[in-house]
Amino acid sequence: MKVFRYLIKRLLIALITLYIIATATFFLLALTPGDALSARVEKLPDQVTERLYEKYGLDKPVMERYLITMKGLLHGDFGESIIYEGQTVQDIIAEKGPVSARLGLQQMILGVGVGLLLGILAAVKKGKFWDYFVVVLAILLISVPNLIFALLLQMVFAARLKWFPVIGWPSAGQWFSGWKYTVLPTLAGCFGYIAAYSRLLKASMLDVMNQDYVLTAESKGLTHREVILHHVLRNSMIPIITRLPMTVAMCITGSFFIESVFSIPGLGLYYVNAVAAQDVPIVMGETVIIAALYIFVVFITDILYTIVDPRIRISGGKR
Is residue 317 involved in binding another protein (CB under 8 A)?
no
CA distance 254 to 290: 13
Q: Judge whether 291 and 18 are in contact, CB under 8 Å.
A: yes
Of 182 and 236, nearer to another protein (C-beta) is 236
Of 163 and 213, nearer to another protein (C-beta) is 213
Question: Which of 32, 211, 253, 315 is the binder for another protein (CB under 8 A)?
Answer: 211
Of 208 and 283, nearer to another protein (C-beta) is 208
Segment contacting another protein (CB under 8 A): 38-46, 160-168, 189-197, 305-313? 305-313
Question: Which of 42, 46, 85, 212 is the binder for another protein (CB under 8 A)?
Answer: 212
Segment contacting another protein (CB under 8 A): 83-91, 143-151, 229-237, 255-263? 229-237
Of 55 and 234, nearer to another protein (C-beta) is 234
Of 153 and 232, nearer to another protein (C-beta) is 232
Is residue 128 involved in binding another protein (CB under 8 A)?
no
Is residue 101 involved in binding another protein (CB under 8 A)?
no
Of 122 and 196, nearer to another protein (C-beta) is 122
Minimum CB–partner distance for residue 311 and another protein (Å): 5
Question: Which of 91, 95, 131, 226 is the binder for another protein (CB under 8 A)?
Answer: 226
Q: Judge whether 153 and 188 are in contact, CB under 8 Å.
A: yes
Q: Quick one: which of 282, 217, 295 has its CA closest to 249?
A: 295
Applying CB under 8 A, the residues found at the interface with another protein are 211-213, 215-223, 226, 230-231, 234-235, 238, 308-311, 319
